[in-house]
Structure 1
Amino acid sequence: MKKIICILALLAVALPSQSQEKAKDYSKKVKTLDGTIKTLYSVISGEKGAERDWALFKFLFQPNAKLIPTGKDKEGKLKVRFMSPDDYVKSSGKWLVQNGFFEKEVHRKVNTFGNIAQIFSTYEAYYSKSDKKPFMRGINSIQLFNDGNRWWIINIYWAPETKENPIPGHYLPIQ
């Protein structure tokens, strides 16, 4: 009897239950450069109260990737901050859900050489998809690597537009 109980206990642990969710396959989202960038923008965007798919967000990045925002500190000095994808989720994830946030790419300049790519991606940010005017604009400098199977984001280095530093016309859509 003890053997049967032990075997049943082992089976219960070893065999996945039907209620366990299978790991999602995100591989199709990173096959192309365009798909990877579109997924990046879509995964952080959502209405107020909408949870983000942080597993998909993290899937986009190479394990040692960095997210590097720039801006002025309280004394007005320009600074950079280095974050891992996990750091970004911890520092910004709650804010994105509580406030609503949509980041929309409005222009892209791509340079590739072999298996590396550098993209200057001009963005506009909105609190809601229905907003007519962005509350912020800027440029994401995105570096990517293709390992032969998929694109990996290596770094995202960004700067918001300011009065002192407007986005140059060649990084804006043609009107």
Structure 2
Amino acid sequence: MKNLISGIILLFFINLSSQESSKQNDLTLKVSSLDSTITTLYAVISGDKGEERNWDLFKQLFREKAKLIPTGKNNEDKTTVRYMTPEDYIKTSGKWLLENGFHEVEIYRVTETFGNIAHVFSTYESYRSKADTEPFMRGINSIQLMNDGNRWWIVNIFWMQESEAHPIPEKYLPNKS
């Protein structure tokens, strides 16, 4: 009987270890290149109304002390920034994303790299549902990343929405030809 119980416990821990290894391999694939890291970033915040986001994966994209920095107008109509941690972003935006639906889709990218650092200027369109044909918002994410020799980490995301006063320049839009 002891052998049977020991065997069941051993199988449980082997299965648990296998699941953790599989999750780690999955994460490794999602952050192994600049492309996969940016793709994962957009995928993890996107979802239809009522669709839970994978906030654990979201947090794993960011280096410790990373910031998310939206720009906008304050009450005096002056341009300002707000500094958030990934956890702050989840607290301030998570409920809204779940209740309203939000899909952010990259439509164009300019990437500059030097050694283990990269800067990605990523033009996006935002939709409430995958079925939407017209975006309700567009803008540019300025994403700074670093590679520690094992994977890519997001260090900062600094973004601005398009407005009538500040349309997205043609050089940051896909060619229409």
Same fold (TM over 0.5): yes
Partner of 1:69: 70
Partner of 2:32: 31
The offset of 1:18, in angstroms, is 7.2
Q: What is the rounded CA distance, in whole Å, between the counterparts of 1:41 and 1:155 in structure 2?
A: 14
Q: What is the rounded CA distance, in whole Å, between the counterparts of 1:21 and 1:97 in structure 2?
A: 31
Which region of structure 1 is more displaced relative to structure 2, 41-50 or 24-33?
Answer: 24-33
Fraction of identical pairs, as percent: 59
Can you give the 5+ residue segments of structure 1 that lack an aligned partner in the other structure? Answer: 1-11
More helix by share: 2
**What amino acid does structure 2 have at the position aligned with 1:161?**
E
Counterparts in 2 of 1:19-168, with a 5 A limit? 22-23=19-20, 24-25=23-24, 26-168=27-169
Q: What is the rounded CA distance, in whole Å, between the counterparts of 2:156 and 2:42 in structure 1?
A: 14
The offset of 1:61, in angstroms, is 0.3
Aligned residue pairs, count: 163
**What amino acid does structure 2 have at the position aligned with 1:102?**
H
Q: What is the rounded CA distance, in whole Å, between the counterparts of 2:15 and 2:94 in structure 1?
A: 30
Q: What is the rounded CA distance, in whole Å, between the counterparts of 2:43 and 2:122 in structure 1?
A: 14
Q: What is the rounded CA distance, in whole Å, between the counterparts of 2:73 and 2:13 in structure 1?
A: 50
Q: What is the rounded CA distance, in whole Å, between the counterparts of 2:15 and 2:115 in structure 1?
A: 44
Give the alignment's Cα RMSD to 1 decimal.
2.0
Q: 1:73-121 CA deviation, whole Å, 9 max, x = no partner?
A: 1221111000000000000011001000000000000000000000000
Q: What is the rounded CA distance, in whole Å, between the counterparts of 2:151 and 2:140 in structure 1?
A: 24
**What amino acid does structure 1 have at the position aligned with 2:158?**
Y
TM normalised by structure 2 equals 0.87
Q: Secondary structure at the match of 1:90?
A: helix
